[in-house]
Amino acid sequence: MPLVSMKDMLNKALEGKYAVGQYNINNLEWTHAILEAAEEEKSPVILGVSEGAARYMGGFNTVVKMVQGLIEDLKITVPVAIHLDHGSSVEKCKEAIDAGFTSVMIDDSHSPIDTNIATTKQVVEYAHAKGVSVEAEVGMVGGQEDDVIGDVMYAKLDDCVRIVNETGIDTLAPALGSVHGPYKGEPNLGFKEMEEIRNAVSLPLVLHGGTGIPTHDIKKAISLGTSKINVNTENQIEFSKAVREVLAAKPEAYDPRTFLKPGREAIKQTVIGKIREFGSNNKA
């Protein structure tokens, strides 16, 4: 199945009251595991690629060709979107689109809202002409993920309405208390604000920093219009744990497959759990 944009899968998720996971990829092991999990669970899936991860893997073109090759060789039949996570500029978004990404996030949330809207509008015009979906962010998600570092700053309702109405984006990430990376203490999401935004805009909402949020909060967020949930840290933690266990038990091991395969399986099982938690299983 060819790569698809996020637009249809997220609109279906919004209507069906479930969420599609974005699982960030770091290499072939990650991609293989996530695609296998999605296929087994018959779930649509979004492969998130940060600019840092793309650089690590060699570049946008390499990432797209790797994903396409795995889809063909693993006989993946579920819808797969490849999404630029936290695109830092119009130029980077265009570069990803030209390489074959089917979705991009332009993150100009650190700028004043007028600048954020102007930047996002440029990306939307370029992306939509090529059938590519666009995500934008309002407010600031806390914590750190690759090149993205920020304090929590809640999205303002008026800013959310403006960016939706003035740019034509396909999905909106309003910052409402979630953070990238592990949470220090209990997550405290702004559900009241989430509901107000949901009632004011008709788009699927995105929750960044999905690792560590309790299931009851995930379910509540989905009921309030959250249709895309991003997961990265949890897969990194489970992969690292599995690799450490193998190397501790077999300190003389040197064939990378000896420890990478258990790491890959740990990611796969984590993603299967998330797919079921988000309710996207059997929705492909």
119 labeled part of a ligand binding site = no
pLDDT higher than 50, residue 148: no
pLDDT higher than 90, residue 125: yes
pLDDT, residue 3, reads 97
Distance CA 111, CA 30 (A): 32
* For range 27-39, the mean pLDDT: 98
Superfamily of domain 6-278: Aldolase class I (3.20.20.70)
pLDDT higher than 80, residue 134: yes
230 labeled part of a ligand binding site = yes
pLDDT, residue 157, reads 92
Place of tokens 């991009």: 104
| Residue with more model confidence, 76 or 142 | 76
Q: Where are the alpha helices (H) located in the chain, listed in sequence order?
A: 7-16, 28-41, 51-57, 60-73, 90-99, 113-128, 157-167, 191-200, 215-223, 233-249, 256-278
List pLDDT tens digits, range 150-209.
Answer: 455 688 999 999 999 999 999 999 988 756 544 445 566 888 888 999 999 989 999 988
List pLDDT tens digits, range 274-283.
Answer: 999 999 999 9
Say which of 8, 85, 151, 255 is annotated catalytic. Answer: 85
85 is catalytic: yes
86 labeled part of a ligand binding site = yes
Place of tokens 């440029």: 122
181 labeled part of a ligand binding site = yes
Distance CA 150, CA 267 (A): 27
151 labeled part of a ligand binding site = no
| 8 A C-beta contact, residue 283 and residue 42 | yes
Place of tokens 């930047």: 119
